[in-house]
Amino acid sequence: MIILHVVGARPNFMKVAPVIAALAGRCTQLLVHTGQHYDKNMSDVFFQQLGIPEPDINLEIGSGSHAVQTAQIMIAFEKVVLAKKPDWVVVYGDVNSTVASAVVCSKLGIPLAHVEAGLRSYDRTMPEEINRILTDRVADLLLTPSSDGNENLAAEGIDPARVKLVGNVMIDTLVRLLPQASLPAGLPERFALVTLHRPFNVDEPTMLTALWTMLNELAERIPMVFPIHPRTRARLESLGLMQGNHSDLILLEPQGYLEFLAMQQKATLVMTDSGGIQEETTYLGVPCFTLRPNTERPITITEGSNMLIGSDLQLLRKEVIAVLDGTYKKGRNPELWDGNAGKRIAAILCPLPDSGAGV
């Protein structure tokens, strides 16, 4: 059996690692990197730290509009699957590489599995939401990280026989590597961790200015550690916001997975617009404030330590103060967020002769 994994952007890397490890020795595996993320700080270091083998094929697509990037991946990826003839193609998450590969497989009749299926924000202005919906419509096997994913797919009329609840593969990677995680030197004993990269926060000057002002205000209460995404840095510089003294707002370059994981674990609280960080902070039990109007991971709110803030920065200020006063809610881990999702996926895709099928 040949199983071909497709990754393209850094969130995919944390998801593919435990699946590759669990399938080792069961089948032939090929790893295709589309090159959607190509900055060394955003890509190569993750392969090194996660123990992922060097990609067998790198399509080196690079940046472009959604249409251009998706089309170029489809053209290049079609040649790969026609040459390799995999028994399964496995795609991860909700980036352009995910949906492009899914469409190619659907057209060619190649069995497709989607890891992290069923997540929905119900906001179609987010490109990721379109990618999630389209990929789930054509996938033959939908591997969900949490029960709400199963519920979403059932509501959309997806055949439940195609859906398997396997747990969260990102948590597999976190559990495996947390003992190796270490903080970058020079950080304060107590700090808040910040990440911002989504267009509705960083591309709108009014919003970015308001966020920057609030971060500086909150930094008077607790130091802010802010690894800056390249796009975010460019926007801040273009607005002249990085000038002047911001001694309690500690600006860092993008971090490797192990460093950032240690920072999440150590942080008093996290402010983010990332999807995966909502999950990781839930597992770690760290208060998380999501600077988005919605989330495709509501289980991190209903069961975890996450709170949706939207653009209400006064609410953010109030809740940060609550954390500092010790009054923030405690969460718990959702079902099957136990470090074994990769093993469950392997048992479904390539069961051992005496193990039966499925989970």
Q: Are residues 161 and 296 in the same domain?
A: no
Nearest to 174 by CA among 52, 302, 18: 18
Indicate which residues carry an active-site annotation: 197
Q: What is the structure's pLDDT at 355?
A: 53
Does residue 51 or residue 168 have the better pLDDT? 168
Q: What is the structure's pLDDT at 244?
A: 74
Q: Are residues 28 and 128 in the same domain?
A: yes
Q: Are residues 125 and 8 in the same domain?
A: yes
pLDDT band of 48, cuts 50, 70, 90: confident
pLDDT band of 58, cuts 50, 70, 90: very high
Q: Are residues 191 and 295 in the same domain?
A: yes
pLDDT band of 356, cuts 50, 70, 90: low
Q: Are residues 129 and 241 in the same domain?
A: no
pLDDT band of 128, cuts 50, 70, 90: very high
Q: What is the structure's pLDDT at 185?
A: 93
Q: What is the structure's pLDDT at 267?
A: 98
Instruction: Please state the rounded mean pLDDT for residues 278-297.
Output: 97
Q: What is the structure's pLDDT at 41?
A: 53
Tens-digit pLDDT profile for residues 165-192:
999 999 999 999 999 999 999 999 999 9
Q: Are residues 127 and 271 in the same domain?
A: no
Residue 176 lies in a domain: no
Structure token pair of residue 294: 């919605």
- Cα separation of 132 and 96, whole Å? 10
Nearest to 283 by CA among 343, 345, 331, 344: 331
Tell me the whole-structure pTM to 2 decimals. 0.93
| Mean pLDDT value across the chain | 94
Residue 84 lies in a domain: yes
- For 225-251, b where at least 16 C-beta lie within 10 A, e where not — what string? bbbbbeebbebbeeeebeeeebebbbe
Beta carbons within 10 angstroms of residue 178's beta carbon: 17
Residue 142 lies in a domain: yes
Residue 98 lies in a domain: yes
Lowest-pLDDT range of 32-46, 101-115, 188-202, 214-228: 32-46
Beta carbons within 10 angstroms of residue 333's beta carbon: 18
Q: What is the structure's pLDDT at 39?
A: 60
Q: What is the structure's pLDDT at 277?
A: 97
Count of domains forming the chain? 2
Q: Are residues 81 and 123 in the same domain?
A: yes
Residue 137 lies in a domain: yes
Q: Are residues 60 and 136 in the same domain?
A: yes
Tens-digit pLDDT profile for residues 296-319:
999 999 999 999 999 999 999 999
Domain of 243, CATH number, reads: 3.40.50.2000
What domain range is 272 assigned to? 185-324
Q: Are residues 193 and 63 in the same domain?
A: no
Q: What is residue 347's DSSP assignment?
A: H
Does residue 352 or residue 107 have the better pLDDT? 107
3-state helix, strand, coil in the chain (%, to 5): 45, 15, 40
Q: Are residues 8 and 150 in the same domain?
A: yes
Residue 91 lies in a domain: yes
Residue 300 lies in a domain: yes
Residue 174 lies in a domain: no
Q: Are residues 195 and 310 in the same domain?
A: yes
Beta carbons within 10 angstroms of residue 161's beta carbon: 7
Q: What is the structure's pLDDT at 183?
A: 95
Q: Are residues 12 and 156 in the same domain?
A: yes
Tens-digit pLDDT profile for residues 242-267:
887 777 999 999 998 999 999 999 99
Instruction: Please state the rounded mean pLDDT for residues 138-161.
Output: 98
pLDDT band of 38, cuts 50, 70, 90: low
Tell me how long the chain is. 359
Q: What is the structure's pLDDT at 246?
A: 74
Q: What is the structure's pLDDT at 118?
A: 98
pLDDT band of 9, cuts 50, 70, 90: confident
